[in-house]
Structure 1
Amino acid sequence: MYFRHSNEMWSEFPELVPGVLFAEGITADVTVTERVAHYHTVAAERLAQGGESEMPEIQAWRRAFSKMGMKPTQYRCASEALLRRFRQEGSLPRLHPLVDLCNAVSIAFAIPVAVFDRQKVSGDLEVRHAHGSESYLTFSGETEHPEPREVIFADTAGQAHARRWTNRQSGLSAVREDTRSVLIVAEALHGSASRDVPRLIDAIAAELAAVWSLQTRRGILSSSSPRFDLSAEGNLQLRQHRT
């Protein structure tokens, strides 16, 4: 299995900086309360200086959504939606230790972070424009079909694992109690993304090492090196680290 963005996506968004991490051995029987609280504190301090709409990370995604023909206040990237909820309620819902950690990291960095259950992804996963025939499973169990040309995370079987790029993930590959292997993707478009995304990916890798004692494979993608292979051999061409 590999993950990549289509050539057309790189052409339309040359400023894109994606970070990818793959890990095996996740369990739900761990406590992450204090670790989540640390990132929540970072997010609260940022929000105290100005709302999420003023953050350069969020502004860049709003411009991208406008470029894709969507109203950025109607369809928000995942990190903006989380920040908005955190600002209004002072907390985020607890779902799964890994998801809670990644959501907390996401609002601390103001960068969208997607977590996919590897076993629920058929074949390869690509961020591309939809044909319109792909299937998307909502968290309520309903099946939708993305609009043609909508940006989605699509696997080889034609399943859409996210709609409107970083707006909404699918219930099909959401992390559950029995999830063991995960693919984590962070994407940013702002000016300092080339520095911030590696820091974010390293932060998540450090948490996985501390909480689950896991080694991870990770890399930063680019238009000249757009593919992340989940096999160690396939990632030799990527700049990667091990915890």
Structure 2
Amino acid sequence: MRLQHSAAIWTDFPALVPMALYAEGITPDVSVQDRVVAYTERAAARLATASESDLPEIQAWRRAFSRMGLKPTQYRCASESLLRRFRKEGALPSLHPLIDLCNALSIAYAVPIAVFDVSRIAGSIEVRYAKGDETYLTFAGETEHPPAGEVVFADAEGRAHARRWTNRQSGLSAVRDETSNALIIAEALHETAEADLTDLLSTLTTELTTLWPLTPKSALLTPTSPAFTA
């Protein structure tokens, strides 16, 4: 399993800080409710004094989406969408303990976190500009073809596991009850991204090793060390 961002992405978005973590031995039979409550309370405290669109983490992604030619109020990064839903509904839906944990961390840190079932990925993921021949499976089971130039998470067989960078994941590699091995990716562009993702990585590692008997492998990626291999 290999993750990397293309040279063009690093060039066009020099402030990018990606975090990757690979974990084997995930099961659906653990409870994360107490942890979800703690992290959602942290998000609620931030939203009590500012809307999600005012947060520096979200503003940085809005600028990135504008640069990609996307309207930030039409296409939102995943963390903004989660924060918006949480602000309106007061809670997030429960899907799977790993997803519930990562969604809660996503709104606590206001950064998008993607979680992939590694068994559904062909060899590698590269975050790159689409060529136009990639395939993307929606959660409704429909196949789409991202246009050339859109940022996608593409595997070795040309399947897009996320569209519009951090906007929406694919139904193909979504975590399910049978998922055992997962790749978790967080990305940020704001001024304190490196410090915040270092803290997020430490927090996530602690949570995972407390909940499951596993030893994750992880890294922060940089332009000079852009690849993560598990």
Aligned to 1:215: 215
Q: CA deviation at 1:213?
A: 2.5
Q: State the distance in 1 between where 2:149 and 2:59 align.
A: 23
Deviations 1:6-34 (A, max 9, x none): 00000000000000000000000111110
Partner of 2:13: 13
Read off the aligned partner of 1:209 and give its amino acid letter.
Answer: T
Unpaired runs of 5+ residues, structure 2, are: none
Local SS of the residue matching 1:183: strand
| 2:126 maps to 1:122 | no
Q: Could you tell me which amino acid in structure 2 is paired with residue 119 of structure 1?
A: S
Tell me which residue corresponds to 1:156. 156
Query: Which residue identity is paired with 1:112?
Result: P
Provide the residue aligned with 2:51 in structure 1. Answer: 51
Which residue is 1:201 aligned to? 201
Moved more, 207-216 or 94-103: 207-216
User: 1:168 and 2:168 equivalent?
Assistant: yes
TM-score (structure 1 length as normaliser): 0.94
- Tell me the equivalent position of 2:4: 4
Partner deviation per Cα, 1:68-117 (whole Å, 9 max, x = no partner): 00000000000000000000000000000000000000000000000000
Q: 2-side partners of 1:111 and 1:212: how far apart?
A: 24
How far did 1:35 drift? 0.7
User: Structure 1 unaligned runs (5+)?
Assistant: 231-243
The list of structure 1 runs, each at least 4 consecutive aligned residues, that deviate by more than 4 angstroms after superposition, is: none
Give the TM-score of the pair, scaled to structure 2: 0.99
SS at match of 2:218: strand
Paired with 1:208 and 1:58, the residues of 2 have a C-alpha distance of 26
Measured after TM superposition, the shift of residue 120 of structure 1 is 0.4
Amino acid at match of 1:87: R
Question: CA shift at 1:215, angstroms?
Answer: 1.1
Per-residue deviation, 1:203: 1.1
Report the secondary structure of 2:225's partner residue.
coil
| Local SS of the residue matching 2:161 | strand
User: Does the residue aligned with 1:160 lie in a helix, a strand or coil?
Assistant: coil
Matches of 2:118 and 2:197, distance apart in 1: 21
Q: Does 1:28 align with 2:28?
A: yes
Counterpart Cα distance in 1 of 2:154 and 2:191: 27
Q: Specify the SS of the correspondent of 1:187.
A: strand
Q: Aligned with 1:22: secondary structure?
A: strand
Equivalent-residue separation in structure 2 for 1:180 and 1:69 (angstroms): 37
Equivalent residue for 2:60?
60
202-211 or 77-86, larger mean C-alpha shift? 202-211
In structure 2, the residue matched to 1:229 is: 229
For 1:74-89, list aligned pairs within 5 A: 74-89=74-89
Residues 51-81 of structure 1 show CA distances to partners (whole Å, capped at 9, x for unaligned) of: 0000000000000000000000000000000
Aligned residues: 230
